[in-house]
Amino acid sequence: VLSVAQDFDFFYFVVQWPGAYCDSRHSCCYPKTGKPAADFGIHGLWPNYKTGGWPQNCNPDSTFDELRVSDLMSNLQREWPTLSCPSNDGVHFWTHEWEKHGTCAESELDQHDYFEAGLKLKQKANLLHALTNAGIKPDDKFYEIKDIERAIKEAIGFAPGIECNKDSSHNSQLYQIYLCVDTSASNFINCPVMPHGRCDSRVQFPKF
Ligand code: 5GP
Ligand code: 5GP
């Protein structure tokens, strides 16, 4: 019997800094529920292979169903807010993340547990706290990438991947943080492979 479930080796848990999403070329729109908190927001939980590639869009028959996450809705709005335009309620973003990435982890997590796992990882990582504790704040100042990496490694126990983008003045800035997670989506692990970072050695941490 063939299984539709595809195997994968680990997850990237990816969070985005809203200040860096919003002041880049594409700009942003606040969700219908209002301006998100000045905190990292969840981007996604992405199945990956340890060789560097990843599966995507694994099951066209598995569509996002709001009713399955109704108990998580207010947490999703707060912790997994969309910043894309036009302003919307987030269902587009969650649909995209489920269909592209979540469907490739269906052997491990159903739809409810996939989104709940993302929310739990966000809480467990507490990344803004890890950074501010080390004096790294979203104050438009520049910080050494090495210091950002060290602060997170000291707080969580595992080195993160850092992705940067550019603001309208072409400054390299902190955009996304990647943490590696085991296939049960509950424990941070050492990354088998790091994502492409595109960061200068010093990067801006923009206000939001
Ligand atoms: P970008 O080109 O902005 O780095 O990534 C665009 C999209 O490709 C992401 O939103 C994500 O869906 C997918 N993607 C990029 N890098 C990875 C990766 O390392 N693993 C997985 N699973 N998806 C990725
Ligand atoms: P990815 O393919 O990288 O997993 O997700 C990116 C897709 O999600 C894009 O098509 C983008 O338009 C949509 N999207 C909706 N809201 C957001 C958001 O707040 N941040 C990012 N990075 N993408 C978003």
3 domain-assigned: no
Do residues 117 and 105 touch, judged by C-beta distance below 8 A? no
Tokens matching residue 28:
């942003």
86 domain-assigned: yes
Give CA–CA dist 8/106, Å, rounded.
11
Task: Ligand 2, residue 18: give the atom nearest the CA.
Answer: 19
Domain membership of residue 87 as a residue range = 10-204
The count of structural domains within the chain is: 1
72 domain-assigned: yes
4 domain-assigned: no
175 domain-assigned: yes
Q: Which residues are catalytic?
A: 43, 97, 101
- Whether the bond between 86 and the residue before it is cis, its omega within 30 degrees of 0, is yes
178 domain-assigned: yes
Mutate which of 82, 98, 176 for ligand 2 pocket (most atoms within 8 A of beta carbon): 82
CA distances from 168 to 24, 137, 176 (A): 6, 20, 17
187 domain-assigned: yes
The number of the ligand nearest the C-alpha atom of 46 reads: 1
Predicted local distance difference test score (pLDDT) of residue 11: 98
Q: Is 111 left (phi over 0), alpha (psi -120 to 50) or beta?
A: alpha
Q: Where are the alpha helices (DSSP H) in 80-203?
A: 91-100, 111-125, 127-133, 145-156
Buried b (16+ CB within 10 A) or exposed e, 158-167: bebbbbbbbb
CATH number, position 70: 3.90.730.10
1 domain-assigned: no
How does pLDDT run across 23-74, given as a tens digit for each residue? 998 889 999 999 999 999 999 999 999 999 999 999 999 999 999 999 999 9
Q: What is the ipTM of this complex?
A: 0.96
Task: Using alpha carbons, select from 90, 103, 6 the residue that is nearest to residue 61.
Answer: 103
Reported confidence tier of residue 6, pLDDT bands at 50, 70, 90: low
